[in-house]
Structure 1
Amino acid sequence: MWIETSTGNRIAKDAAISGPDNIVISGNCTIHPGASLHGDVTLLTPSTGPTILIGKYSHLNSNCQIIPPVLQDDKHGPVAIGAYCIVGHDTVVRLATIGNRVIIEDGCDLQNLSIIYDCCVIRKGTVVPPKMVIPPFSEVLGVPGTDFKVGELSNAYKKLIETEAKELQLQT
């Protein structure tokens, strides 16, 4: 069961969205069952902007968690997810920014205050360590300390990721 908004968003009725007044979801986004968005955290510096911002055509799969990053004690900073982003099943997002056209596969852990720039692919089960910056057009896989790697992606991924995000919206 879905709730559909006038801007084309589809939000599962059993998605856990806390602090909805602090969350901005742009048009044509999909939030699947069991996904949780924690918009009810206390920000370190009061701002007029949202705690969680999700760009157009983004797709949050089941059981993913969007948790604003911790800056100091129990105070958080905002999290921004760009347009045409796909967040995989069972993925935990605690970072500051995900750029546009990013695919994050299932079971990833994106740790506190990391930044992922545009046109990246984060492979299944990857752990992105705290405060790491992933440059544009990167493929990231593995776990730090064991097999963590950051490689380059072709410029063709820009259009491929955008197309994939739009197709997912049509399939839902």
Structure 2
Amino acid sequence: MSSEEWIETTTGNRISKLAQIYGSNSISINDHSTVNSYVLLQGDVPLLQQDESQTHTIKLGKYTYIGSNCQVIPPVLKKTHHGPIRIGSFTIIGADSIIKSASIGNRVLIEPNCTLLDLSIIYDCCLIRKGTIIPSKMIIPPFSEVKGVPGVDFEIKELNSSYKKIIELEAKNLHYLG
């Protein structure tokens, strides 16, 4: 990774110069997060209810890693209005994923090519396997492993509690080692 390809902030964030970030004033990125090339952060959408407490359309926790070609778009609430999206700390989003969830917890690993549809909620310490589609408004409980496509082979299993530390370490490694 050469410095010509990245913007590095004083809080340790690394953002690819090839990322597409719209509405940057409405996006909060906490310390040590990475936004890779060709990521779309769509922060310029109208919120359904906007008050002083809802100033950000997209909020990323610390050590969040977003893989190449991902789209992070706040969930649609009503035709042209959106709700905010919150992505917790130590969360990894694999390449080519589409994220429209209302909330993703801490220590979540989303493998490549996943789609999380409008208003879905992923609680803490979850593993979303490659190619999985999470339907709109679905709630995934903590410590879950999810895989498949609804109506075809969708499955939710319990995830071993040791993944809590494993996902956190992987998020830190991705930030520091790429």
- Out of 36, 50, 75, the position equivalent to 1:46 is 50
Q: TM-score if structure 2 supplies the norm length?
A: 0.96
Quick one: percent identity of the two aligned structures? Answer: 55
In the other structure, the counterpart of 1:16 is: 20
**Alignment deviations for residues 36-80 of structure 1 (CA, whole Å, 9 cap, x no partner):** 100000000013331000000000000000000000110000000
In the other structure, the counterpart of 2:134 is: 128
**Counterpart-to-counterpart distance in 2, 1:36 and 1:4:** 18
**Counterpart-to-counterpart distance in 1, 2:50 and 2:158:** 38
- Out of 88, 91, 98, the position equivalent to 2:94 is 88
**Counterpart-to-counterpart distance in 2, 1:77 and 1:112:** 9
Q: Equivalences for 1:19-168 in 2 at 5 Å?
A: 19-48=23-52, 49-168=55-174
How big is the alpha-carbon RMSD for the aligned residues of Structure 1 and Structure 2?
0.5
| Paired amino acid for 2:151 | G
Q: Unmatched 5+ residue regions in structure 1? A: none
**Counterpart-to-counterpart distance in 1, 2:114 and 2:58:** 19
Q: Unmatched 5+ residue regions in structure 2? A: none
Runs of 4+ in 1 over 2 A off after TM superposition: none
Describe the SS at the equivalent of 1:107.
coil
| Paired amino acid for 2:49 | T
Describe the SS at the equivalent of 1:27.
coil
**Alignment deviations for residues 113-170 of structure 1 (CA, whole Å, 9 cap, x no partner):** 0000000000000000000000000000000000000000111111110000001111
**Counterpart-to-counterpart distance in 2, 1:81 and 1:47:** 20
